[in-house]
A and B are shown apart, each in its own frame.
Chain A
C-alpha cells in the first residue's frame, strides 16, 4: 500500500523567500511521486513528477523536488516565492508497477505568500 504525509497544513512565506513544502511517502515498491497545485476554485494541475532516472526533478513555475529514497521524502522547493504561488499543494504517490496504479494524495499544504 502507498501513502503520503505532508507536514504542515499551512505554510506562510514572504515574497522572495524560499518555499519548502514537505512530503514523505510510504511504499512497499519503488514509487512514482507527483506534486499537484490547486488554485482557488479550480482543479488540480501537475507541477512535476518523479518516475525514474534523475532524482532532482524540475517542474513548472520554477518549482523543483528531490527524490530521496533513504529519507523516503519528496520535498518541493522554490528559491523565491511570488504572490502568484499562493495556492494549495498536494503530494501524491502511486506504485507504478502493477494493478491500476491508483494515485494516493496527501492532505495538502496551503501556501500563503506575504507581500
Chain B
C-alpha cells in the first residue's frame, strides 16, 4: 500500500493564481480530510469528507473548495491564492467507523504564495 499520497510536494504561486492540491489513498478509507499547518498554530482542519459525494467545512474553510467524486481522491482547490494561504497542507484519511480509528497522514504539500 502506498498509503496517503500528495502532489505536488512544493509549489510557488503568485497572488490570484489558482491550483489544485492532489490527495489520494489506497486503503479504501471513507473519511478524508485536509489540514493546514502554520508555525505556532498546530494543524487546523480545512475541509473533510465522510464518503464519496459528501463534504463539509472544518475550522478554516474560506478560500478553499473540495469535492469527493471517488473514495480514493480528495482534491483541494485554491481558486484565487492569497499570501495568507502560504502554509504546509496535509491530507489524511481513516476508516469512518468511529473516532477511535487512526488517521493516516500524507507527506504534505508546501505552498508559497507571493
Provide the bound-state CA to CA distance between A100 and B108, in Å: 23
Interface residues on B, range: 20 to 34
Tell me if B102 counts as interface (CB < 8 A to partner A).
Answer: yes
Provide the bound-state CA to CA distance between A41 and B56, in Å: 28
Q: A102, B33: Cβ atoms under 8 Å?
A: yes
Q: A104, B100: Cβ atoms under 8 Å?
A: no
How far does the Cβ of A30 sit from chain B's closest Cβ, in whole Å? 10
Provide the bound-state CA to CA distance between A102 and B90, in Å: 14
How far does the Cβ of A1 sit from chain B's closest Cβ, in whole Å? 11
Within 8 A of B (CB), among A64-115: 90, 94-97, 100-108
B44, B56, B98: which contacts A101 (Cβ < 8 A)?
B98
User: CB-CB < 8 A to A105: which residues of B?
Assistant: 35, 42-44
User: CB-CB < 8 A to A94: which residues of B?
Assistant: 99
Q: Mark B38-68, 1 if CB is under 8 A from A, else 0.
A: 0011111100101000001010000000000
Q: Could you count the A-B residue pairs with CB atoms below 8 Å apart for me: how many are there?
A: 62
Q: A44, B56: Cβ atoms under 8 Å?
A: no
Provide the bound-state CA to CA distance between A100 and B95, in Å: 11
Q: A102, B42: Cβ atoms under 8 Å?
A: no
Provide the bound-state CA to CA distance between A36 and B45, in Å: 16
Nearest B residue (CB) for A104? B45
Tell me if B16 counts as interface (CB < 8 A to partner A).
Answer: no
Tell me if A42 counts as interface (CB < 8 A to partner B).
Answer: yes
Q: B90, A46: Cβ atoms under 8 Å?
A: no
Nearest B residue (CB) for A107? B42
Besides A36-B105, A102-B48, 18 more A-B contacts (Cβ < 8 Å) are: A9-B40, A34-B102, A42-B107, A42-B108, A43-B4, A43-B105, A43-B107, A44-B43, A44-B92, A49-B102, A51-B100, A90-B42, A95-B99, A100-B56, A101-B99, A102-B33, A104-B45, A107-B42
Q: For the complex of A and B, list the 8 residue pairs with the smallest distance between their C-beta atoms, beginning with the closest.
A: A96-B99, A101-B99, A43-B105, A51-B100, A94-B99, A107-B42, A105-B43, A105-B42
